[in-house]
Structure 1
Amino acid sequence: MKYFFVKFLIGVFLFLQCSPSSSDKTEELGIIALLLINAQKYGRYGHVSIPIGNNILILGGQNGFNVYNDILQFDPIQNTIFQVSNLKYARSNFKAIRLLDGRVFIVGGNPSPLSAASNSAPPLIQTEIYDPLTNTTASGPNLNQGRSDFSLDLLNDGRVLIAGGKANSILQSAELFNPNNFSITSVGNLNYNRCLHTSTKLNNGKILIIGGINDSQVTVVTSELFDPSTLTFSSSGNLSISRTLHAANLLSNGNVLVTGGYRVTTPPFASNTKVVELYDSGLNTFSTVGNISDFRVGHTAISTASNRVLLCGGHQILNGSPVLSSCELYDTGSMTVVGSGQMQSKRSIHTASLVLGSKVFLASGFDRVDFSSGIPGANKTSEVFDYNQFTSTSVFGDL
């Protein structure tokens, strides 16, 4: 099937009620202010969501024409989104992760929107650290290599692995951030250059890196393991189907479930896949175990209770690049889809975070592609999806 916009996919990924009381009037003014702020929101993709206690941080991203530096927070109790701070650098297609001390380490990404095209600035070398206790950001050490669409993983000892990604070419290099001495050092190379891959920390502390796309615009069939004790990468099993913009979830038994994505063997032709694969951490091999209901690229996959994985949204490599509003619940015991439902909005390259009970916060993403420009149209809404009831609730406040 002919693939449209391979280059685009890499670049991407990829609130009034009147009351006479003074306290209510104060609240009303706050609501009006929030409405005015939200009127300026245009949606985002290439952003990051991070759990902070019961709340969720939403950082950065872009809408195709502007790159954002805001830090917002979703409060699931109040069901509202509000701004809490700003990044030092506007960035999209970056990564962020919570350190052992509770602060958030923010790395790399693109400072230019998709509309900048050939005039885009190189990926950022700058890192920064956000403190949720003070709602402030501070500069971190610079990367040795600016990069976007890479992987970022917190190791058991508190260090952070930064691997692969994209700059002028698809990268093979890896770096290590040490929060104890506030340094970033090179840590050798991956066995294969790759971006838009997944990385998963296994129960033994090793990092499993799967798939992605390489410099030839071909999807990668290989996987590899990073060993924090030796600081080395070793080859792991091969996927049955090469893929990028897929999802990988660690299961309670230590294995990893791989879903969705697309593959390219002869550019610019690409195809979707419904095939689900399972990485066996004991055997270090992949096997096919079933199928999901819909083709999904750039979807989210959240591990839930009872060994199930909730897959939401994504888009398909078909004429028109349709974006999905569907969700499906995949049972990793029977390796079958056991339920499905609909989000209120279509979304892809969005973020998903567990919040209260069986609820998942789904933030922004894009809901369409403008074929004249190749730029996705951002969805400024967010919602909370209940995977037990298969119902969705709108969130107050736009992104």
Structure 2
Amino acid sequence: WTTTGNMAVARQYHTASILGNGKVLVTGGSNGSNSLNSAELYDLTTGIWTTTGYMNVARQYHTASILGNGMLLVTGGNNDNIYLYSAELYDPTTGIWTTTGNMNFARILHTASILENGNVLVTGGFGRTYLSSAELYDPTTGSWTTTGNMNFAREYHTASILGNGNVLVTGGYYKSALNSAELYNSTTGSWTITEKMTFARQLHTASILGSGKVLVAGGSDGSYLSSAELYDPTTGSWTSTGNMNVTREYHTASILGNGTVLITGGYNTSPLNSVESYDPITGSWTSTGNMNVAREYHTASILGNGKVLVTGGYNGSNSLDSAELY
């Protein structure tokens, strides 16, 4: 790991998105006491951050999705204990944010997935109660429409777009950690239950491997998990794979160019600097170089040059402005 330029603002619970021009846009989050409306851009050629336009609404626990037209859609989140319906768009050519249609439900800790038709599917989360609702954003109209409800309300879950265009939602939290998984059919707008995971888990990661299988790793079921399991979309079943070397939640997972999955940081009694990679061929995990800074609530982005940029997060006492490259 090598350090790179510090962000202008220390932040956790933010988002990081790779724009069409290769720059990384970081938005919002929290400085530990207040939600942030600031956004900044990382230039991988210089390693320097520059501030860009401010969001119209400060927010943390939100989502960020790159639309087919190159704009970035930010949805929901929390602005100092207010759950947000609002959504806004960032134009990389101008660096300016504009508001777009409000969601039908205010929500935090939800997911956002870009479907094959270009619409954005938002699922679950929390907004005064746990949500099973899902809704679709149409970039051409800037409006939201509700779609089928999930079978289970959940927050801290994952959503993965499968090769067949369906969306797999796994785990999360509703009064306790969940082992349920379900599939969204983007043609019919309906949800069907698929096989349960071996372990209930929230605050985990889900990664789509080159084989089309989904690797779910870590998280928590009341205790911190090292377990990992694979979902096979062709059979709809889960199988266990190798355990991580370290139990962790609030970590990141990135698929590298060679097909391995890089897991960074997270938490298990304290924030972690440990890093490990999963080899889909052997089903085993290998520890690799530690980050310079222990962090949870951070982001990890795969740059055009193949390096992984980790930004911000929390080290157990402070929000972080530091960034580093793997």
TM range (shorter): over 0.9
Answer yes or no: is the 8 Å Cα contact 1:54–1:355 preserved in 2.
yes
The answer for the alignment partner of 2:17 in structure 1 is 50
The answer for the alignment partner of 1:286 in structure 2 is 238
What's the Cα RMSD here? 1.4
The answer for the alignment partner of 1:21 in structure 2 is none
The answer for the alignment partner of 2:52 in structure 1 is 84
**Count of residue correspondences:** 321
Counterpart of 1:249 in structure 2: which amino acid? S
Counterpart of 1:107 in structure 2: which amino acid? T
In the aligned structure 2, how far is the partner of 1:339 from the partner of 1:66?
35
Answer yes or no: is the 8 Å Cα contact 1:314–1:324 preserved in 2.
yes
Q: Displacement of 1:380 after TM fit?
A: 1.8
For 2:209, which of 251, 275, 289 is the aligned residue? 251
In the aligned structure 1, how far is the partner of 2:141 from the partner of 2:127?
27
The answer for the alignment partner of 1:160 in structure 2 is 120
Q: Does 1:235 align with 2:193?
A: yes
Deviation per residue, 1:224-245 (Å, 9 max, x gap): 0001100011101111000000
In the aligned structure 1, how far is the partner of 2:252 from the partner of 2:69?
27
In the aligned structure 1, how far is the partner of 2:237 from the partner of 2:91?
40
The answer for the alignment partner of 1:97 in structure 2 is 65
Answer yes or no: is the 8 Å Cα contact 2:245–2:286 preserved in 1.
no
Mean CA deviation greater in 143-152 or 357-366: 357-366
Answer yes or no: is the 8 Å Cα contact 2:13–2:30 preserved in 1.
yes
Structure 1, unmatched stretches of 5+, are 1-33, 113-119, 264-269, 370-376, 386-399
In the aligned structure 1, how far is the partner of 2:304 from the partner of 2:45?
9
Q: Displacement of 1:339 after TM fit?
A: 4.2
Q: Does 1:146 align with 2:106?
A: yes
In the aligned structure 2, how far is the partner of 1:260 from the partner of 1:87?
33
In the aligned structure 2, how far is the partner of 1:67 from the partner of 1:367?
18
Counterpart of 2:181 in structure 1: which amino acid? S
- TM-score, normalised by the number of residues in structure 2: 0.96
The answer for the alignment partner of 1:64 in structure 2 is 32
Q: Displacement of 1:181 after TM fit?
A: 2.1
Q: How high is the sequence identity, in percent, across the aligned residues?
A: 31
| Equivalent position SS for 1:322 | coil
Q: Does 1:203 align with 2:163?
A: yes
Q: Does 1:378 align with 2:319?
A: yes
| Equivalent position SS for 1:157 | coil
Q: Does 1:220 align with 2:172?
A: no
In the aligned structure 1, how far is the partner of 2:247 from the partner of 2:321?
24
Q: Displacement of 1:334 after TM fit?
A: 0.2
Answer yes or no: is the 8 Å Cα contact 1:330–1:339 preserved in 2.
no
The answer for the alignment partner of 1:130 in structure 2 is 90
- TM-score, normalised by the number of residues in structure 1: 0.78
In the aligned structure 1, how far is the partner of 2:168 from the partner of 2:266?
23
The answer for the alignment partner of 1:107 in structure 2 is 75
Counterpart of 2:321 in structure 1: which amino acid? K
For 1:334, which of 261, 278, 282 is the aligned residue? 282
- Structure holding more helix per residue: 1
Q: Displacement of 1:307 after TM fit?
A: 2.1
The answer for the alignment partner of 2:293 in structure 1 is 345
In the aligned structure 2, how far is the partner of 1:228 from the partner of 1:299?
29
The answer for the alignment partner of 1:275 in structure 2 is 227
Answer yes or no: is the 8 Å Cα contact 1:307–1:333 preserved in 2.
no
The answer for the alignment partner of 1:181 in structure 2 is 141
The answer for the alignment partner of 1:301 in structure 2 is 253
Q: Displacement of 1:305 after TM fit?
A: 2.2
Runs of 4+ in 1 over 4 A off after TM superposition: none
